[in-house]
């Protein structure tokens, strides 16, 4: 059964905290959990058994008041995805037009920028920064406090470690993931010019320096 939850469609089996802030035009499927510290924008589709806004999986925050989760607009979040709150007063952020496929895990304090694609069974540890238009293949595992460059592609079953350098506009594979070639298709789809790619590389360096 689907029922109206002011300007949204929420399955009757889902638990949505009255303290959550939800925009309009959202669909929340069966058996989902939306916690009290969650902000959701407009026109998102959240499929069954997704869990959004539980405490950070961090030894200092298992039983404490969590930070927040902020989700933008027009995102697709598929079945059994977990998105944890930030630590302390921090926020786990999902931008807009992001696709997160089934059984993926977004840990505390992650930031996923607009138009990123997260394939099934991807695991992001805490404080991971995924830049715009990045594409993570099936089963990718990402170490905490790493940066995934804009319009990069990380291949299926790859492992991003602290020694990996996932720069914008490249294809990376392996464990640890290493540069293979330029992501021509991704750059073309994103209409990323050479000048724009140079700008994104500068942003990548700034983010990387700020995360160390």
Indicate which residues carry an active-site annotation.
Answer: 108-109, 126
d(CA 212, CA 162): 11
DSSP code at position 40: E
d(CA 23, CA 186): 31
Cβ–Cβ contacts within 10 Å for residue 4, how many? 8
DSSP 115-170: T-EE-TT-EE-TT-EE-TT-EE-TT-EE-TT-EEPTT-EE-TT-EE-TT--B-TTE
Q: CB–CB of 100/77 below 8 Å?
A: yes
Q: Count of residues for the chain?
A: 212
């Amino acid at each position: 059964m689907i029922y109206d939850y002011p300007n949204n469609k929420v399955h009757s089996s889902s638990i949505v905290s009255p303290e959550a802030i939800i925009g309009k035009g959202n669909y929340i499927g069966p058996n989902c959990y939306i916690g009290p510290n969650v902000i959701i924008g407009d026109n998102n589709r959240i499929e069954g058994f997704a869990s959004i806004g539980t405490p950070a999986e961090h030894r200092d925050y298992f039983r404490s008041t969590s930070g927040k989760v902020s989700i933008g607009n027009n995102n697709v979040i598929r079945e059994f995805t977990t998105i944890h709150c930030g630590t302390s007063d921090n926020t786990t952020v999902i931008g807009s037009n992001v696709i997160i496929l089934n059984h993926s895990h977004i840990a505390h304090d992650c930031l996923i920028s607009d138009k990123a694609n997260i394939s099934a069974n991807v695991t992001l540890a805490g404080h991971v920064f995924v830049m715009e238009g990045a594409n993570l293949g099936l089963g990718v595992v990402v170490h905490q406090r790493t940066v995934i460059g804009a319009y990069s592609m990380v291949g299926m079953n790859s492992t991003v470690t602290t020694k990996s350098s996932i720069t914008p506009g490249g294809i990376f594979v392996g464990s640890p993931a290493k540069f293979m070639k330029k992501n021509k298709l991704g750059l073309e789809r994103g209409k990323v010019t050479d000048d724009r790619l140079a700008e994104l590389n500068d942003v990548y360096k700034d983010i990387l320096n700020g995360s160390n």
